[in-house]
Amino acid sequence: MPELPDLEIIKSFFNQRLVGTSIEKVEVIQPLVIRRPPVKDFIAGLQGHSFQEARRRGKYLILQFDGDAVLVMHLMLVGRLQYCPPSEKRNPATCFVFHFSNGFQLRYFDSKVMGRLYLVREDEVRTVPGISELGPEAWDEELTVELFRHRLAKYRGEIKTIITNQEFLAGIGNAYADEILFVAGIYPYRKRTGLSSDDVQRLYHAIRQVLSEATEILSKRVGDNIHVEIRDFLRVHGRGGLPCPNCGSNISQIIINQRTTEFCRHCQK
């Protein structure tokens, strides 16, 4: 699933490449991903309108068009956006295509058809399911370590479950939670009530470090290929059974309810 660093790169890409470009045609192939409004109104609400700005809230991309049209997108597990010329072969799971006036296309493909798109007015953005419940952004400068401690104290479950809870912090998913907990040296299944004050401080700083480092790496590597998920630089996630980069012992992998957790039993006791 695209997480905060991935979506930050896509947001920046759109703001660099699409501002002032209009949608000449909206082609809907799989209408199931369009949750609001009906498809014909979705097409009419975007066709002929120009892109103004992209922003992000948690795992939501928010695209502003002229005429007070706002497209809110949640890509879910496998949804991807592709920016390419028309000559590029289409992914068979393509759900819709925006034909832009600059000759390029923005395509959305999703093999599980789980993505959710909402075309709303600016004053309706908070009515999109899930947005109003989001906690502060995971790397928000106003989220001090003291405020982080205060918010964390309200939860009692396993720490990985807490930091992927979007009502606690917005933007962290499964992959970057593994990385954050590895950098912090915290076992992912530890209960919050078992964390020391030093553990909480390390966790706070690990969140900022991991998300900032990942965003910087992706900004140098993604280029135009915003549909490609780059995770090969991660320390533990996706590396189950391989040597830990710190101690050399094998990275453990546990799958519960189709969610994979990877960690080092030596470094994260």
Instruction: Single out the residue in 66, 94, 127 at which a domain terminates.
Output: 127
Instruction: Single out the residue in 127, 155, 179 at which a domain terminates.
Output: 127
Residues of the chain with pLDDT > 90: what percent? 97
Let me know whether 154 and 69 are in one domain: no
Mark whether 259 is an active-site residue: yes
Find the length of the chain.
Answer: 269
Considering only the C-alpha atoms of the chain, give the largest distance between any 2 of them, rounded to a whole number of Å. 57
Let me know whether 94 and 153 are in one domain: no
- At 13, which amino acid appears? F
- Contact between 158 and 189 under an 8 Å Cβ cutoff? The reply is yes
Catalytic residue among 2, 8, 188, 235: 2
- The verdict on residue 134 lying in a domain is no
Catalytic residue among 40, 126, 154, 259: 259
Give me the number of domains the chain comprises. 2
- Six-digit token string for 190: 């530890």
- The verdict on residue 188 lying in a domain is yes
Catalytic residue among 3, 137, 179, 262: 3
Catalytic residue among 5, 8, 11, 59: 59
Let me know whether 153 and 116 are in one domain: no
Let me know whether 114 and 12 are in one domain: yes
| pLDDT per residue as tens digits for the range 116-168 | 999 999 999 999 999 999 999 999 999 999 999 999 999 999 999 999 999 99
- The verdict on residue 140 lying in a domain is no
- Among residues 115, 93, 80, the alpha carbon closest in space to that of 2 is found at 80
- Give the model's confidence band at 44: pLDDT under 50 very low, under 70 low, under 90 confident, else very high: very high
What is the CATH classification number for the domain harbouring 70? 3.20.190.10
Q: Tell whether the model's pLDDT for residue 258 goes beyond 80.
A: no
Mark whether 129 is an active-site residue: no
Mark whether 59 is an active-site residue: yes
- Give the model's confidence band at 204: pLDDT under 50 very low, under 70 low, under 90 confident, else very high: very high
Let me know whether 158 and 258 are in one domain: yes
Mark whether 3 is an active-site residue: yes
Structural domain of residue 64, as residue ranges? 4-127
